[in-house]
């Protein structure tokens, strides 16, 4: 990684991991994590585009200087000579280096974004496997369902009793 990539990248890269014991949390966090990565792709694209403009300006300035100098010395300069000399200007070299570093950065963020897209698909699959009882035998899933059903029945019965008590108080 280049030094331009902030620690957010590392945090978001670690966020790709999916804990199958905590699928509900992973599903809930997916949109926010994807947004953060997508936002950084846009930021990095803007930075790269800004440096491309700086490179264009530096090349135009250097081109004008080289043309003027070569026309004084040799008359009509050849395009290849102009191009070669323009590339040697410090401003042009510096801007070109920045564009290259921005491209590397942007590529890493785009790869991370694509990984989050894949993570989204995988979350769907893992949730489907969980619902189907893939990580447990059918008895434990059925047992878990019967416990939940029993708890729900108890809660309904308790609420019904509380409502009946409230009606008796209000009527009587």
Report domain extents, the chain: 7-135, 136-172
- In 3D, which of 46, 43, 35 has the Cα closest to residue 113? 35
Each residue's pLDDT tens digit in the chain (172 positions)?
Answer: 445 555 699 999 999 999 988 999 999 999 999 999 999 999 999 999 999 999 999 999 999 999 888 888 888 888 898 899 999 999 999 999 999 999 999 999 999 999 999 999 999 999 998 888 877 754 444 545 555 667 777 777 887 888 788 778 878 6
3-state SS assignment for residue 19 = coil
In the numeric block, the tokens 């694209």 are attached to 45
Phi-psi region of 26 (alpha: psi -120 to 50; beta: other; left: phi over 0): alpha
Q: What is the 3-state secondary structure (H, E, C) of 108-127?
A: HHHHHHHHHHHHHHHHHHHH
């Amino acid at each position: 990684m280049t030094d331009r990539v902030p620690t957010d990248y590392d945090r978001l890269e670690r966020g790709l991991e999916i804990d199958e014991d905590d699928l509900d949390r992973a599903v809930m966090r997916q949109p926010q994590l994807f947004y953060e990565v997508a936002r950084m792709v846009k930021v990095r694209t803007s930075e790269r585009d800004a440096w491309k403009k700086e490179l264009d300006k530096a090349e135009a300035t250097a081109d004008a200087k080289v043309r003027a100098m070569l026309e004084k010395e040799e008359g009509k300069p050849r395009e290849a000579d102009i191009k070669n000399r323009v590339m040697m200007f410090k401003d042009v070299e510096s801007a070109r280096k920045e564009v290259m570093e921005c491209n590397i950065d942007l590529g890493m963020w785009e790869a991370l974004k694509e990984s989050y897209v894949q993570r989204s698909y995988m979350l769907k699959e893992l949730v489907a496997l969980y619902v189907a009882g893939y990580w447990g035998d059918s008895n434990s899933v059925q047992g878990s369902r019967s416990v939940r059903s029993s708890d729900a029945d108890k809660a309904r019965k308790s609420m019904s009793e509380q409502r009946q008590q409230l009606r008796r108080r209000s009527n009587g």
